[in-house]
Amino acid sequence: MAKSKKRKHHHDFHPQPHTAKTQKTKSAVTVAGVFFSLLGIGIAYFAAGASLPWLLAGAVAGAVGGYYFGLQIDKSFSKK
């Protein structure tokens, strides 16, 4: 059977080679910061009681520790 020259030819789909991948929106830094902050509040509560300055100090110290811990987790998982 003869081919129609007016018909459009089908082409295979080829994705663009330089498409940017979407980055994840959540990171281990945020999760670890919140978790360590709560852990710091709990330790400060058992160590010093319900004193607000000590609870805030525990939260800040825990958040700083969680930040650095989360950075290390992100670095270790980004290596391939």
Q: What is the pLDDT of residues 18-75, one digit of tens each?
A: 766 656 556 889 999 999 999 999 999 999 988 999 999 999 999 999 999 999 999 8
* pTM (two decimals): 0.65
CB 17 within 8 A of CB 60: no
